[in-house]
Amino acid sequence: MSEPVITTHYRACHLCEAICGLEIRTQGEEILSIKGDKKDPVSHGYICPKATAIADIHNDPDRLRQPAKRVGDEWHTISWEEAIELTAQKLVETQENHGPNAVGFYAGNPGVHNYGNITHGPLLRRAVKTKNNFSATSLDQLPHHLTSYAMYGHQYFLPIPDIDRTDLMVIFGGNPIASNGSIMTMPNAPKRFKALQARGGQLIVIDPRRTETAEIADQHHFVKPGKDAYVLMAIINTLFEEGWVKPNHLSEHIDGLALIQDHAKPFTTELAQAQSGLSAASIKELAEQLASTDKAVVYGRMGVSVQEFGTICQWAIQVINMLIGALDAVGGSLLTSPAFAYVRKGLNGAGHFNAFQSRVSGLPEFSGELPSVAMAEEILTPGEGQIKAMVTVAGNPIISSANASELDRAFDSLDFFVAFDFYINATTRHADVILPPTSPLEHDHYDIAFLRLAVHNSARYNPAVFEPEEGTLHDWEIFNAVSKRISELKGLDFRPLPAPDQLVAYGIENELYGAKQNPEVALTMDKLKAAPHGIDLGPLQPGLLTRLCTQDGRINAAPDFLISDLSRLLESAISSPDNELLLIGRRHVRSNNSWMHNYHRLVKGKPRWQLMMHPDDLAKRNIEPDSEVTIESRVGHVTTTVIATDEVMPGVVSLPHGWGHKRRGVKMEIATQQDGVSCNELTDDKLIDRLSGNAALNGVPVTVRLAS
């Protein structure tokens, strides 16, 4: 018998926002190699170390292929028919006995890397119909969306730094060298930053840690965690005071600049220095550089989103870009023009804010979701509306959410829990039923989310590499089936959706590049499928004013609730104890999230789960480097190894996100062998951005002592 033919496949990597193009060579069912696709219009052959682990995911013996039911501490494979019927019966029964809000949903971030989840997941939410919806958005990027909704009228109206043409990029709390961009799809960050510097531009980083990005920057300034808002507001104040404001072509379309100027006055560079540690002179110099550079842009990410003033930070960044003429300008921040889900007035999903509140703490909803920090108390607090059953989709909140021990206790108390997942992890070990979708290489994909966050416009259809294993289902097929059965049990009409590629095809043909709007391009799904490397749609372009989603067609630069929150910022300007330590997270290029730790290629090498601590802080506490230490916060404590480094500023300790898999019942062999602990045993569900409800995972007060 002859050997199977060697085949070359092209598709995008699904392991982070960069969505780098891949060239995958297979022989039969074996993956021979994974390399960068040199013809990809955005990544141009670049890949990071994560890409090669796609083979490990596909072949992982721990990955579930069939539905599993938990009986005591044991798991049994069951049929799809039994799994779907049990799931539907239990969810409907819970709502009949305890009310519609007795079922809760949690969606993790891996789901956005699978378009079947995006297109068909809403079917299940509509069939169940509960107010208790949660997701990783409020552990990550909610301030971005709330700001865009308030200022521009749509939660996905997200201007992206034009990195390929800017001459000055200032980054607050972001590390693109490790992340390859976040809310900024930017493959090959190292090359793009080198190109910026080669053309005479500058990269400036403001961060409590000298990150991988800060290492290559022209300037790096330490800033105290959680105090970035003072620096950003001082920049705004300085721009007004010095007469450096120049919104350019947007000037006549902006409301609220005078209000911003008035409310920014108390935020002096001296106040910012006292709070943040960044000198007043450096802040003024930074403002001047931004104002005097023709092509400049400010970008902020996790470090400024997941803190007590995350929404103020993201709003202030938008305001600064507006004031220096960077908004809607080449080399500044521009809207993307994707082939699908092109953001414009009239596009569905604009969002809404504070239409209702969480039952226990009264936290505001955003676009139908409540903050994830409310999840544990909504499960554990008795009364009408108490969550009795949970649905999770590609999520592991017991590792990734605040006050993880409390959430662990909450999930253990549920009457019923179904997980749409293919791992038995720290969260899904509590499930009664797990419904696993196909492997990422067994289904096609179109990057709905990340193509509209990219630094360069393109479109790419990703065909499946392998045929699905017999008896497996795609996630969209599972959503169709479960939603249909729930609707039948409730006596409701149900219309299943066609395959995701059909839905995306319709959108592409009727949006910006379709024949009706753009006959010269006339993009179709068939054209995409015939272009294995994707189609280059060109650089980002100005045009914000024609796409504003506000009712009056104007930019609302000073939303009332954001201006009001500035008083909270002023009231928080207090002196910190000299011995205070503040905890921040950190990211590694091989470690995107908790789901990256079951693959040898991504966990091999030097351990990177230790606590980072400045040598001076160790000396003050008589702690030797490489000792075992106990870190304690208001909600919990963990014990791990500490390393001494001046990579973090004095008063700051850093523990990475996503570790802590050594738990009873977890069925991830490689992950459970890793020694790291979960930083979210320390993060506090009561430490939040009060404006949005987003978790404040950075700037958590902790103590560190030698382990007893």
Tell whether 665 and 585 lie within a shared domain: yes
Q: Are 13 and 50 in contact (CB under 8 A)?
A: yes
Tell whether 477 and 564 lie within a shared domain: no
Q: What pLDDT score does 595 carry?
A: 77
pLDDT greater than 90 at residue 294: yes
- What tokens were used for 14? 């699904």
- What tokens were used for 287? 């403002």
Domain endpoint, select from 569, 603, 620: 569
Residue 576: band (very low, low, confident or very high) from pLDDT cuts 50, 70, 90: confident
Q: Are 561 and 147 in contact (CB under 8 A)?
A: no
- Residue 558 placed within a domain: yes
- Residue 636 placed within a domain: yes
pLDDT digits (tens, 9 = 90+) for 331-385: 999 999 999 999 999 999 999 999 999 999 999 999 999 999 999 999 999 999 9
Tell whether 204 and 126 lie within a shared domain: no
Which CATH number goes with the domain that contains 23?
Answer: 3.30.200.210
In percent, the amount of the chain with pLDDT more than 70 equals 100
Tell whether 593 and 551 lie within a shared domain: no
Sequential DSSP letters for 213-240: HHHHSSEEE---TT-HHHHHHHHHHHHH
Tell whether 168 and 312 lie within a shared domain: yes
Tell whether 81 and 35 lie within a shared domain: no
Q: What is the DSSP letter of 514?
A: S
Q: Are 171 and 213 in contact (CB under 8 A)?
A: yes
How far is the C-alpha of 153 from the C-alpha of 461, rounded, in Å?
29
Q: What number of other Cβ atoms are within 10 A of residue 451's Cβ?
A: 25
Domain endpoint, select from 33, 59, 85: 59
Backbone angles phi, psi at 475, to 5 degrees: -60, -40
- Residue 409 placed within a domain: yes
Q: What is the pTM of this model?
A: 0.97
Tell whether 176 and 34 lie within a shared domain: no
Which CATH number goes with the domain that contains 649?
Answer: 2.40.40.20
Tell whether 424 and 321 lie within a shared domain: no
Distance of CA 124 to the CA centre of its chain: 22
Which CATH number goes with the domain that contains 283?
Answer: 3.40.228.10
How far is the C-alpha of 200 from the C-alpha of 198, rounded, in Å?
5
Higher pLDDT, 112 or 539: 539
Q: What pLDDT score does 578 carry?
A: 72
Q: What is the mean pLDDT of residues 534-545?
A: 98
Contacts 24+ apart (CB under 8 A), 506-514: 507/340, 507/341, 508/339, 508/340, 508/459, 511/339, 511/340, 511/341, 511/342, 512/337, 512/338, 512/339, 512/342, 513/339, 513/459, 513/537
- Residue 23 placed within a domain: yes
Q: What pLDDT score does 439 carry?
A: 95
Domain residues for the domain of 432 are 68-140+365-447+461-497
Residue 589: band (very low, low, confident or very high) from pLDDT cuts 50, 70, 90: confident
Tell whether 290 and 189 lie within a shared domain: yes
How far is the C-alpha of 648 from the C-alpha of 671, rounded, in Å?
27
Name the CA radius of gyration of the chain, rounded. Answer: 25
Provide the mean pLDDT of the chain: 96
How far is the C-alpha of 316 from the C-alpha of 327, rounded, in Å?
13
Query: If you count them, how many residues does the chain have?
Result: 708
- What tokens were used for 521? 């391009």
Which CATH number goes with the domain that contains 424?
Answer: 3.40.50.740
Tell whether 75 and 44 lie within a shared domain: no
Q: What pLDDT score does 594 carry?
A: 77
pLDDT greater than 90 at residue 535: yes
Q: What pLDDT score does 1 carry?
A: 61
pLDDT greater than 90 at residue 250: yes
Q: What is the mean pLDDT of residues 659-675?
A: 94
pLDDT greater than 90 at residue 663: yes
Q: What number of other Cβ atoms are within 10 A of residue 325's Cβ?
A: 21
Q: What is the mean pLDDT of residues 217-242?
A: 98
Tell whether 561 and 644 lie within a shared domain: no
- Residue 389 placed within a domain: yes
Q: What is the mean pLDDT of residues 123-141?
A: 97
Q: What pLDDT score does 140 carry?
A: 95
- Residue 519 placed within a domain: no
Domain count across the chain: 4
Side by side, which strands form the sheet with 168-172? 219-221, 202-206, 168-172, 296-300
Tell whether 202 and 316 lie within a shared domain: yes
Domain endpoint, select from 21, 36, 59: 59
